[in-house]
Amino acid sequence: MKPLPEELAGLQIASPQQFRNLTLFSLSRNEPVPATPDYLLADEAMGRGLARITEVDGGSVPELRFENNSDQPILLLDGEELVGAKQNRVLNLTILVAAKQTTLIPVSCVEAGRWHMDSAEFRPASHVMYSRGRAARVTQVSASMRTSGSRRSDQGAVWEDIAAKSARMNTDSPTQAMSAVFERHAISVEEYVRAFACGGNQCGVAVAIGAEFGLDLFDHPATMRSLFAKLVRSYALDAMELAKTPADDGSVDPAAFLKALADAPAASEPAIGMGKDVRLAGKSVAGAALWEGGRYVHICGFTVGQGSKEISVKTRLSRPTRRRTGRAF
């Protein structure tokens, strides 16, 4: 397996694009790639009827059933929201499901107040979980893997974080759904999407929100283009909470963030589905990667431990109800 520092050191960082308080750095490689990826994305596969996601038996909060009925592997993205069935979930990590395989996938609930069937199958949302929520959940899943070998989040902490986010962003949802926050601020979020462009050879993004960074890096530019808008929405929802704009003094340094990720202690083990699951845990950063077929299919990374300092709005939390949340976890 290629060392992660070598992978990150070989990236080219483009000049920043900025809109309001969100700064985006395009990442690219010089290495040639095939004409198309050797996998399908979940959106495409499910839209073509080649895959389906359903509840496990009567329903289990921390896992779902993914059926790949296509002749190609299917890529599921860390933080991607799945809407419907008994309650909305997000994927706990990136997974590559082999062709013609059915796999149980680890998820977190992002709709604490619903446990009744809305649809027989899930459908992918047009966004990924907001970046601070992803950062916390990546850290939780890595800790779960170290202590118990499972890939579970701290579900109570996920619910509390969504409740706090909803309160700060003046969103009232009867089922405490994360998707309601995106819907409430859809017009503003789409302004961010329209403000940024994805380059032809771009394979990833490093995104700065104040002093925080996030990273999503893929093996193929086509994957980046397909997921670009979803990811911008994720980062935009957090950027909207930050009042100040970035300082124009060079302090927003993507190279320093990439080096912090490269220097973070890493551990790997067989992935769910195909490949190896790599986890990163440093003092100021956390992340994960999926290695398969001689390349990193996806790498994500985040600044951790300082995000709460950027938000001045205080709110009184009410812990979401745990009524009828399925099997024990």
Helices (H) and strands (E) counted in the chain, each on its own, are: 8, 18
DSSP string, 296-315: EEEEEEEE-S-GGGG-----
The helix or strand, by DSSP H or E, that contains position 217, with its residue range, turns out to be strand 212-218
Q: For 59, how many CA atoms within 13 A lie in the half-sphere containing its CB?
A: 21
The answer to whether the beta carbons of residues 218 and 94 sit under 8 Å apart is no
The answer to whether the beta carbons of residues 252 and 246 sit under 8 Å apart is yes
Per-residue model confidence (pLDDT) at position 242? 84
- Measure the CA–CA gap between 86 and 83, rounded to whole angstroms: 9
Per-residue model confidence (pLDDT) at position 97? 98
The answer to whether the beta carbons of residues 280 and 266 sit under 8 Å apart is yes
Note down pLDDT in tens along the chain; length 329 residues: 999 999 999 999 999 999 999 999 999 998 889 999 999 999 999 999 999 999 998 889 999 999 999 999 999 999 999 999 999 999 999 999 999 999 999 999 999 999 999 999 999 999 999 999 999 999 999 999 999 999 999 999 999 999 999 999 999 999 999 999 999 999 999 999 999 999 999 999 999 998 899 999 999 999 999 999 999 999 999 999 987 666 565 668 999 999 999 999 999 999 999 999 999 999 999 999 999 999 999 999 999 986 444 433 333 333 344 433 444 33
- Measure the CA–CA gap between 288 and 280, rounded to whole angstroms: 6
Q: In the structure encoding, which two tokens stand for residue 213, read together?
A: 């960074």
Per-residue model confidence (pLDDT) at position 110? 98
Record the pTM: 0.92
Per-residue model confidence (pLDDT) at position 266? 96
The helix or strand, by DSSP H or E, that contains position 27, with its residue range, turns out to be strand 22-28
The answer to whether the beta carbons of residues 268 and 279 sit under 8 Å apart is yes
Beta strands 276-281 and 285-292 are antiparallel
For residue 185, which amino acid is it? H
To which residue do tokens 């302004």 refer?
A: 191
**What is the sign, positive or negative, of the torsion defined by CA atoms of 265, 282, 239, 22?**
negative
In this structure, the dihedral spanned by the alpha carbons of residues 43, 48, 53 and 57, taken in order and rounded to 10 degrees, is: 170
In this structure, the dihedral spanned by the alpha carbons of residues 319, 322, 328 and 329, taken in order and rounded to 10 degrees, is: -30
DSSP string, 9-34: HT-EEPPPEEETTEEEEEEE-SS---
Per-residue model confidence (pLDDT) at position 248? 60
Provide φ and ψ at 38, rounded to 5°: -95, 25
The answer to whether the beta carbons of residues 240 and 188 sit under 8 Å apart is yes
Q: In the structure encoding, which two tokens stand for residue 132, read together?
A: 């601070």
To which residue do tokens 């459908």 refer?
A: 123
